[in-house]
């Protein structure tokens, strides 16, 4: 139900602009609109604002009236059949002419001329609010004038008008749409109404996909000013993230979490952003703040453990894992991280137990199934591992993890293949090549047509310097399974060392196609490209290997080999 309609004010012709005040056109809309907001009292008491819209030079825009309309014209315009009162006004030199009309019989119920100072435009609203409340039969007092004043208030009203214009999908003629917002922040950086409006304006632009970089810069400036409340900082963080300003988002989230460390989701959000940006000291600080209050969540502790892992603090990571394991129930993402760390610490039995509990809650969690399978393989339970890997691949894994999962599934699906593979790899790592050869030959006899077993035999023979035998065995592996990326990679390396550059390059390209996330294969492929004179491709492969986490010393060595002169 509409109780009253307040129209945009008219503006007398020839009024000069006032330094430090909002333009009269802005005041003509924002004064009545502010009056409507105050009368509605933060809810909806049926008071409506009516701006005048039309087309100027083919652009839909706000219209400026130079005089008051006749009451009959107001009745025809508003189209709110149940309205009781119609209110309009006109700004003149030092005066505000305000009028209230009965919407049914068009009688003028109130007609005042009030002193008006464009530098203090809101002072007149208390009288207007009082009169309208009396005509409507409402009790209570008019709202107090806001503390904001002077030039800051002028820019605040300009920004409100800019937002109104954009919300109405009207053309914005400003060459610098964010200037009012910046000026508001400069003049009143701690005013709650200013901050709320600036964030609302930024949110509107981001929703419409406009001026994203400029908004990010504005939010960065705002982040330097805002210290409270937490709700404002949360909004700022969310908007900064939407604008691509991750550092600003993390800083705002951190400040919000510092104000309310008892809010687990806030601490977790801040910690996640800080971790992504490698701001580890701040992450330790905010999780420590939650811990000191006894309110650190499992997810926050897991994030702290991840920091310890990144920074090589294995002992501290283990302590946090033990602390998490004392908790009755771990969220599934936390359990997944705990399981991966337990596997790194050779605690496979406990890892399988934790993963199994989490899978009861979320049986289709692909990464948990993958980690559960790893634990099962380490505990010599290949059948259970194979079932888990099949589920993980069915649900969907990242390309890199899927590549590992398919290899583990092949190893788990052939009886004895996993255990035999582990034995051979252990002997190779220890440098006992003769024992590794004996184990690899036994594995081939036991598994027969498993390409992985033949690959291992070829790897051992290559390590022993038996290149011809190694080549025959590796080709046998590829006849059994042409998709064996490891065999292609090892055969490519062998052929390169024998000077067969082009066939070696071909096998390495095939290995890369089958295992595109294998950094080691990329480095070997880069060397092959360099030998063929394909320097640009070689550089590209090294860059990719580096992004995938190849060891820095190996990357540097390959880079040097690529730029070295032939025979150098």
When the candidates are 3.40.50, 3.30.70, 3.30.200, 1.20.120, the CATH number that belongs to 4-136 is 3.40.50
Question: Are 367 and 401 a contacting pair, CB within 8 Å?
Answer: yes
Length of the chain: 568
567 pLDDT higher than 80: no
Chain mean pLDDT for the chain: 91
Span 403-414, pLDDT tens digits: 889 889 988 888
Q: Which two three-digit tokens encode residue 417?
A: 């293949």
306 pLDDT higher than 90: yes
Q: Which two three-digit tokens encode residue 54?
A: 């039309």
Span 539-552, pLDDT tens digits: 999 999 998 888 88
Q: CA 360 to CA 58: how far, in whole Å? A: 64
pLDDT of residue 391: 95
Span 351-362, pLDDT tens digits: 999 999 999 999
Span 215-269, pLDDT tens digits: 999 999 988 888 888 999 999 999 999 999 999 999 999 999 999 999 999 999 9
pLDDT of residue 1: 72
Q: Which of 202, 266, 283, 208 is nearest to 236 (CA)?
A: 202
Q: Do domains 4-136 and 328-409 have the same CATH topology?
A: no
Q: Categorize the per-residue pLDDT at 419 as very low, low, confident or very high, splitting at 50, 70 and 90.
A: confident
H or E stretch covering 4: strand 4-7
Q: Which of 56, 54, 52, 146 is nearest to 90 (CA)?
A: 52
Give the residue carrying structure tokens 């220890």. 430
> Which DSSP category does 68 fall into?
P
Question: Are 36 and 47 a contacting pair, CB within 8 Å?
Answer: yes
3-state secondary structure of 560: helix
pLDDT of residue 83: 86
pLDDT of residue 80: 66
The values of phi and psi at residue 138, to 5°, are: -95, 145
Classify domain 328-409 at the CATH class level.
mainly alpha
pLDDT of residue 176: 92
Angstrom distances, CA of residue 179 to CA of 198, 219, 562? 11, 13, 52
When the candidates are 2.60.20.30, 3.90.930.12, 1.25.40.10, 1.10.760.10, the CATH number that belongs to 483-568 is 1.25.40.10
3-state secondary structure of 62: strand
Q: Which of 182, 181, 120, 116 is nearest to 145 (CA)?
A: 120
Which residue spans within 51-130 are E strands per DSSP?
53-56, 59-62, 85-91, 95-102, 108-115
Question: Are 457 and 476 a contacting pair, CB within 8 Å?
Answer: no
Span 61-94, pLDDT tens digits: 898 999 999 998 888 887 767 889 999 999 999 9
Sorted by where each begins, the domain ranges of the chain are: 4-136, 328-409, 483-568
- Give me the percent of the chain exceeding a pLDDT of 90: 69
228-240 as b/e: b if 16+ CB within 10 A: eebebbbbbbbbb
pLDDT of residue 107: 92
Q: Is 200 left (phi over 0), alpha (psi -120 to 50) or beta?
A: alpha
User: Which residues, 6 or more positions from 193, have their beta carbon under 8 angstroms from its beta carbon?
Assistant: 146, 148, 156
3-state secondary structure of 107: coil
pLDDT of residue 328: 81
pLDDT of residue 564: 62
pLDDT of residue 568: 44
Q: CA 261 to CA 289: how far, in whole Å? A: 7
Q: CA 10 to CA 31: how far, in whole Å? A: 11
Q: Which residue has the higher pLDDT, 44 or 279?
A: 279
H or E stretch covering 378: helix 366-378
Q: Categorize the per-residue pLDDT at 415 as very low, low, confident or very high, splitting at 50, 70 and 90.
A: confident
Span 134-148, pLDDT tens digits: 898 888 777 777 778
């Amino acid at each position: 139900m509409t109780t009253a309609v307040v129209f945009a004010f008219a503006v007398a012709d020839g009024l000069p602009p006032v330094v430090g005040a909002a333009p009269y056109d802005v005041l003509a809309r924002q004064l009545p609109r502010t009056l409507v907001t105050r009368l509605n009292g933060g809810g909806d008491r049926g008071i409506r604002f009516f701006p005048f819209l039309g087309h100027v030079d083919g652009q839909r825009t706000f219209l400026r009236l130079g005089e008051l309309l006749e009451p009959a014209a107001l009745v025809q315009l508003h189209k709110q059949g149940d309205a009781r009162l119609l209110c309009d006004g006109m700004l003149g030199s030092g005066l505000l002419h305000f009028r209230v009309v009965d919407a049914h019989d068009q009688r003028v119920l109130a007609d005042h001329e009030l002193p008006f100072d464009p530098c203090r435009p809101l002072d007149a609203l208390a009288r207007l609010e009082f009169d309208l409340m009396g005509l409507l039969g409402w009790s209570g007092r008019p709202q107090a004038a806001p503390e904001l004043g002077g030039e800051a208030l002028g820019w605040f009203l300009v920004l409100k008008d800019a937002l109104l214009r954009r919300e109405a999908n009207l053309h914005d003629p400003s060459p610098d749409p964010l200037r009012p917002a910046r000026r508001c922040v400069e003049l009143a950086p701690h005013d709650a109404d200013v901050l709320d409006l600036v964030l609302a304006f930024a949110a509107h632009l981001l929703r419409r996909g406009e001026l994203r970089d400029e908004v990010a810069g504005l939010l960065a400036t705002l982040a330097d000013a805002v210290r409270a409340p937490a709700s404002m900082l949360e909004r700022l963080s969310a908007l900064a993230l939407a604008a691509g300003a991750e550092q600003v988002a993390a800083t705002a989230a951190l400040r919000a979490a510092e104000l309310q460390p008892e809010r687990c989701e806030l601490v977790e959000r801040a910690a996640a952003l800080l971790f992504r940006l490698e701001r580890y000291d701040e992450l330790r600080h905010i999780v420590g703040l939650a811990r000191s209050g006894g309110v650190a969540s499992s997810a926050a502790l897991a994030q702290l453990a991840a920091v310890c892992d990144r920074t090589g603090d294995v002992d501290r990571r283990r302590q946090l894992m033990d602390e998490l394991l004392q908790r009755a129930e771990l969220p599934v993402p936390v359990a997944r991280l705990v399981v991966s760390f337990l596997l790194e610490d050779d605690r496979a039995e406990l890892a399988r137990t934790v993963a199994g509990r989490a899978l009861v809650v979320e049986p289709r969690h692909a990464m948990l199934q993958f980690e559960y399978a790893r634990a099962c393989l380490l505990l010599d339970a290949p059948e259970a591992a194979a079932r888990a890997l099949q589920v993980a691949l069915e649900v969907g894994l990242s390309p890199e993890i899927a590549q590992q999962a398919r290899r583990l599934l092949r190893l788990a699906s052939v009886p004895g293949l996993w255990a035999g593979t582990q034995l051979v790899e252990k002997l190779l790592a220890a440098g006992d090549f003769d024992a590794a050869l004996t184990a690899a030959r036994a594995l081939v006899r036991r598994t027969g047509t498993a390409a992985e077993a033949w690959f291992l035999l070829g790897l051992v023979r290559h390590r022993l310097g038996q290149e011809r035998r190694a080549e025959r065995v590796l080709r046998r592996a590829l006849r059994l399974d042409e998709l064996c990326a490891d065999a292609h990679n090892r055969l490519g390396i062998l052929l390169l060392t024998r000077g067969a550059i082009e066939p070696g390059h071909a096998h390495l390209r095939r290995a890369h196609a089958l295992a595109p996330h294998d950094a080691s294969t990329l480095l070997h492929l880069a060397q092959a490209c360099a030998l063929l004179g394909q320097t640009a491709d070689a550089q590209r492969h090294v860059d990719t290997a580096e992004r995938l986490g190849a060891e820095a010393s190996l990357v540097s060595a390959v880079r040097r080999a690529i730029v070295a002169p032939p025979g150098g």
